[in-house]
Amino acid sequence: MGLYTTVMGGITEYTGLSPAAFFTILAMMAVVYKLVCGMFVAAGDYVAVKKANAYALREPVQLGENVTEEQLRAYDGSDPEKPLLMAIKGRIYDVSRSRMFYGPGGPYALFAGRDASRALALMSFDPKDLTGNIEGLSASELDVLQDWEYKFMEKYVKVGQLVGAERNQIETEPTENGDKIQEAKHIEENGTQQLPTSE
């Protein structure tokens, strides 16, 4: 307890910041550092990275409706021959085009090969939140998760469904914007955004 108080007091004394502000800035710096590092590659890794990036240009492969969590793990980027996959609410997306984010060494590599619903809803990097279990989340946390889902639906191709995961959750999610639901459905069904209707 004494050490904890001394460290927290030291942070405020030396930086003039509250411990919360200090650690938030530290986390932001870590993410930016990882992003910048991801932009550069060692000469020896160049061929491997080029090969891995080639997946971004390939047609995504559909895995079907009964993918297990264990099968999904194999797509975490450790095998450069495989695409990078990530799931939200049981829906699996091919995120290979964002290898910079989700590939090995990337700031969000921990999400690859997983259903990261809980971590995204809570904006958490804690390994215990790397799960598709969204029980007990508040309405605002579910809204955060919903926004992530819309982003993924728009940006990535859905390539499968985790077995046992609840389907059609969109209809049940709390949201104040009905248009967003229509838009998300349209993206899922057609793979494109709805064009604005002419007046």
The span from the CA of 103 to the CA of 95, in Å, is 9
Q: For tokens 């993206």, what's the residue?
A: 187
Output the smallest distance, CB 140 to ligand HEM, in A.
15
CB of 101 to ligand HEM, least distance (A): 5
Binding mask 89-118 for ligand HEM (x = CB under 6 A): ------x--x--x------x----------
Give yes or no for residue 36 binding ligand HEM (CB under 6 A): no
Q: Give the range of 25-33, 138-146, 165-173, 183-191 binding ligand HEM by CB under 6 A.
A: 25-33
- Residue closest to 156 by CA, chosen among 89, 55, 85: 85
Per CB under 6 A, 32 contacts ligand HEM: yes
CB of 43 to ligand HEM, least distance (A): 26
Q: How many CB atoms lie within 10 A of CB 102?
A: 24
22 to 15, 16, 153, 159, 171: CA distances (angstroms): 8, 9, 34, 40, 40
Identify which range of 6-14, 28-36, 53-61, 172-180 contacts ligand HEM by CB under 6 A. Answer: 28-36
Q: Please, where are the H alpha helices in the chain?
A: 2-15, 19-38, 46-53, 69-73, 99-102, 117-122, 139-155, 178-190
Q: Which tokens sit at 88? A: 């939200």
Q: Which of 85, 87, 119, 170 binds ligand HEM (CB under 6 A)?
A: 119
One-character DSSP codes across 49-92: HHHHHGGGGSPPPP-EEEE-HHHHHTTSSSSTTSPPEEEETTEE
Query: Measured between alpha carbons, how far is 167 from 188 in angstroms, rounded to an integer?
Result: 13
Binders in 138-167 for ligand HEM, by CB under 6 A: 155
37 binds ligand HEM (CB under 6 A): no
# residues contacting ligand HEM (CB under 6 A): 14
55/108 with CB nearer ligand HEM:
108
Residues found near ligand HEM in the complex (CB under 6 A): 27-28, 31-32, 95, 98, 101, 108, 119-120, 123-125, 155
